[in-house]
Amino acid sequence: EAGVAQSPRYKIIEKRQSVAFWCNPISGHATLYWYQQILGQGPKLLIQFQNNGVVDDSQLPKDRFSAERLKGVDSTLKIQPAKLEDSAVYLCASSIEAIQETQYFGPGTRLLVL
């Protein structure tokens, strides 16, 4: 089966610019997650969707980050405006249901903010 797809793989922007990341989960997976992974740290959950509804966005910096999952399939994560500290890898993951134990991760988007 095809895995979780993400694009772009790399992005370099200047601070205060905007950026968007795209994720296509595994077909049939109802739950989608966005994580932020800063260099040298483990992934931190930003937002979790169940179909097209938000389950948990408690760690999403809502003044600059937004995410949507229209039609309950693909998802986009946007940062506007970006700060230097947003430099990280943004990982998308999916699972069949929220209670499923295993999450399947995409390759990530590496963001560098200058």
Binding site residues, other proteins, CB under 8 A: 4, 40-45, 48, 56, 91, 93, 98-99, 101-108, 110
Give the nearer residue to other proteins in terms of CB position, either 82 or 108.
108
Give the nearer residue to other proteins in terms of CB position, either 16 or 44.
44
In the complex, minimum distance from the CB of residue 81 to other proteins, in angstroms, rounded to a whole number: 26
In the complex, minimum distance from the CB of residue 30 to other proteins, in angstroms, rounded to a whole number: 14
In the complex, minimum distance from the CB of residue 104 to other proteins, in angstroms, rounded to a whole number: 7
For residues 36-63, one letter each, b for 16 or more C-beta atoms within 10 angstroms of the residue's C-beta and e for the rest, the string is beeeeeebebbbbbeeeeeeebeebeee
State whether residue 86 is helix, strand or coil: helix
Query: For residue 11, what are its two tokens?
Result: 């992005």
Give the nearer residue to other proteins in terms of CB position, either 6 or 86.
6
Rounded to 10 degrees, the C-alpha dihedral 54/59/62/67 comes to -40
Cα–Cα distance, 20 to 12 (Å, whole number): 12
Give the nearer residue to other proteins in terms of CB position, either 65 or 108.
108
